[in-house]
Structure 1
Amino acid sequence: MTMGLHLFEARVNCPMSKILEKPDHGATFPIVLHPNELEFMAQSGTGHLLLVQANFFECGGVAVGLNISHKIIDAYTLCKFINSWAAIALCSANTDHVVPPVKFGAAASLFPPLDFLNSPQPSIDFVKENCITMRYLFDASKITALKSKAASAAVPNPTRVEVVSALIWKCVMEASRSNSDLRPSVWCQFVNMRKILPQAPGENLLGNLVGYSVAKTEEREVEHDVKSLVSKLRKGLEEFKVKYGNGISREDVFQQCIELSKLIGKVDIDTYCSTSWCRFPFYEADFGWGKPSWMSIPSTVEIKNMISLVDVSDGIGIEVRLTLKDEDMAIIESNQEMLAYASLNPSVV
């Protein structure tokens, strides 16, 4: 039995600037500002679907932390929820003009539930090892330079997500190969299906509509540059669009889950899973005290080889959360190509 929403209020005995100077210093950020009681148990239908923690600093600053179950929503829906909630808080009298009509249950009509009683259920068991999560910032000028470096005849105008992803993929491959044998490498990029499915009824479709594109390198491919990896990422996305651009069935969705679980479980392949929240308007949420100066994805659960990308406040730079094995991260931290384009945990203020 689920318990719905729970709201906490917390008083933080320091100015907000102390947190923002070094956001990942020790365990301050994820534990103090973020509700962390939500349990992600594979077999469970219990617990809170949403936890919210409102943090009030002695300087008057406010930080809102959310923890929500991925069983019911994806990042797109989370952003819609936050902005609608903020609009209601800001214009409490009549919100018809600011809160768009949402289509609850529409995703279930597109993909009716399957009968899993007699079917093998996919179990996506993310590998949990001794991992560490680091925060990197790619500012606007560095992304512009990286785009210029990554442009090619195959992809003359790479996106900022493509170039940042390609550089990270290159660096993590080099780190992994320094600590183990040469092996194939796979980059799984989660994709918002609303942009692809012809039957998706508009942008206000709520729920989990996420697929993933795949790019890979072979064991024999020893050397890689950012250009070639951008091409692989673009090719993987285009192949995904061709495969599912005319529609996807509920059986296809189920099969995708099975294939992803098998891929993640392979010990002879390095699999990296990336999620991009870029271009989702989180920075537009105004609860009445102004738009946020910083939005981030905290690393309360460290899952090996997970990469998350999110906009910075200017809408051009990208903040990255990178989770790797300790020994791989030690190499990444001193990778000069990475440090040429990204700052390690810079101050937000």
Structure 2
Amino acid sequence: DRELEISCKSSTGYLLLVQANFFECGGVAIGLNISHKIIDAYTLCKFINSWAAISLGSANTDHVVPPVEFGAAASLFPPLDFLNSPQPSIDFVKENCITRRYVFDASKIAALKSKVASAAVPNPTRVEVVSALIWKCVMEASRSNSNFARPSVWCQFVNMRKILPQAPGENLLGNLVGYSVAKTEEREVEHDVKSLVSKLRKGLEEFKEKYGNGISREDVFQQCIELSKLVGKVDIDTYCSTSWCRFPFYEADFGWGKPSWMSIPSTVEIKNIISLVDVSDGIGIEVRLTLEDEDMAIIESNQEMLAYASLNPSVV
């Protein structure tokens, strides 16, 4: 279960590094380190599946690997004149953090969805219920360690390709990511998963309403400014979540079969990061949760969390 380490060269300016690991048992693990300046999770998945299709020697690679629209994003969002405008800088707080891997299997997610369905959200998604449960547990941990309840913000990164009317097709590559926001107030001391699901859904609907008719380069710039302000506030607990669920990473076949396990690397220096990705059955969810040491110590013994998630189960 020990994580593979990517080469130290990954921090010296390379846009892409690939590391192949071969095991005595015959297994193979491929690690990728790629710059977020040029790619998001959607683009990464496209890259991996196209690479795999080419490796297989597909008879029709033009169909498997469609033409890439490299310039489309720039046409949608022409560059700003940064020399005459303040440049956004999202400074994630670096703390003594620890990352844990939790897995929610299909049956537990189904039970959780059934439990938290409400008139406001009768059909909660897998990501919503898992995110809401984690949010509840991390808020409880923060309150226990600080002895008071701080306002809490959940930033959910969103694939803008599903939102924008002007997005020119599925082959738009690069970074096309926004984020929705859900908040709790200081006066809100107690929370249940059901109410947090409603907050997450409301935040996403407000995001779609705001940007569903289009987004400008100034909007993108302003989003970066607002996120940097949120992350920098010491009187608010801000959690940033990314979901790679439903991206077909498990379809990548390089010639030795589809992968048995795919995971997102840990971000051990940046606190309050939550990453979600499908497990191999496409129904369960694996979570990488990075928190400060003190908060994680409480999470690890949280019985509600452990009722639905397994801590670092075997990957085989």
Describe the shift of the 1:63–1:133 C-alpha distance in structure 2 as closer, same or farther (beyond 3 A): same
**Maintained 8 Å contact 1:283/1:295:** yes
Match of 2:240 among 265, 273, 294: 273
Q: Report the CA distance between 1:302 and its aligned residue.
A: 3.1
**Maintained 8 Å contact 1:294/1:312:** yes
Q: Report the CA distance between 1:208 and its aligned residue.
A: 0.2
Deviation larger for 230-239 or 115-124: 115-124
Establish whether residue 89 from structure 1 lines up as the match of residue 55 from structure 2.
Answer: yes
Q: Report the CA distance between 1:101 and its aligned residue.
A: 2.0
Spell out, residue by residue over 1:167-195, the C-alpha distance to the aligned partner (whole angstroms, 9 max, x if none): 00000000000011431000000000000
Deviation larger for 38-47 or 204-213: 38-47
Spell out, residue by residue over 1:185-238, the C-alpha distance to the aligned partner (whole angstroms, 9 max, x if none): 000000000000000001111000000000000000011001000000000000
Q: Report the CA distance between 1:150 and its aligned residue.
A: 1.1
Describe the shift of the 1:181–1:300 C-alpha distance in structure 2 as closer, same or farther (beyond 3 A): closer
Describe the shift of the 1:37–1:135 C-alpha distance in structure 2 as closer, same or farther (beyond 3 A): closer
Spell out, residue by residue over 1:135-175, the C-alpha distance to the aligned partner (whole angstroms, 9 max, x if none): 00000000000001110000001000000000000000000
Establish whether residue 195 from structure 1 lines up as the match of residue 162 from structure 2.
Answer: yes
Q: Report the CA distance between 1:338 and its aligned residue.
A: 0.2
Report what 1:252 is aligned to.
219
SS in 2 for 1:219: coil
Gapped runs of 5+ residues in structure 1?
Answer: 1-35
Distance 2:4 2:261 in 1: 23
Q: Report the CA distance between 1:97 and its aligned residue.
A: 2.3
Q: CA RMSD in A?
A: 2.7
Distance 2:242 2:7 in 1: 21
SS in 2 for 1:287: coil
SS in 2 for 1:146: helix
**Maintained 8 Å contact 1:38/1:69:** no
Q: Report the CA distance between 1:46 and its aligned residue.
A: 6.8
Spell out, residue by residue over 1:13-45, the C-alpha distance to the aligned partner (whole angstroms, 9 max, x if none): xxxxxxxxxxxxxxxxxxxxxxx9999999999
Deviation larger for 115-124 or 41-50: 41-50
Describe the shift of the 1:134–1:186 C-alpha distance in structure 2 as closer, same or farther (beyond 3 A): same
Spell out, residue by residue over 1:27-74, the C-alpha distance to the aligned partner (whole angstroms, 9 max, x if none): xxxxxxxxx999999999971000000111112211110000000010
Distance 1:44 1:108 in 2: 26
**Maintained 8 Å contact 1:151/1:227:** yes
**Maintained 8 Å contact 2:252/2:259:** yes
Distance 1:149 1:281 in 2: 28
Structure 2 length-normalised TM: 0.95
Distance 1:206 1:338 in 2: 36
Distance 1:166 1:44 in 2: 33
Describe the shift of the 1:38–1:202 C-alpha distance in structure 2 as closer, same or farther (beyond 3 A): farther
Q: Report the CA distance between 1:303 and its aligned residue.
A: 1.1
**Maintained 8 Å contact 1:187/1:214:** yes
Percentage of pairs with the same residue: 93
Distance 2:276 2:217 in 1: 28
**Maintained 8 Å contact 1:184/1:269:** yes
**Maintained 8 Å contact 1:38/1:51:** no
Distance 1:263 1:246 in 2: 25
Describe the shift of the 1:172–1:199 C-alpha distance in structure 2 as closer, same or farther (beyond 3 A): same
Describe the shift of the 1:79–1:243 C-alpha distance in structure 2 as closer, same or farther (beyond 3 A): same
Distance 2:267 2:158 in 1: 23
SS in 1 for 2:58: coil
Q: Report the CA distance between 1:95 and its aligned residue.
A: 1.1
Describe the shift of the 1:123–1:38 C-alpha distance in structure 2 as closer, same or farther (beyond 3 A): farther
SS in 1 for 2:85: coil
**Maintained 8 Å contact 1:38/1:68:** no
Distance 1:37 1:317 in 2: 21
Distance 1:39 1:250 in 2: 37
Gapped runs of 5+ residues in structure 2?
Answer: none
Structure 1 length-normalised TM: 0.86
Distance 1:68 1:272 in 2: 23
Q: Report the CA distance between 1:92 and its aligned residue.
A: 5.4
Distance 1:39 1:58 in 2: 18
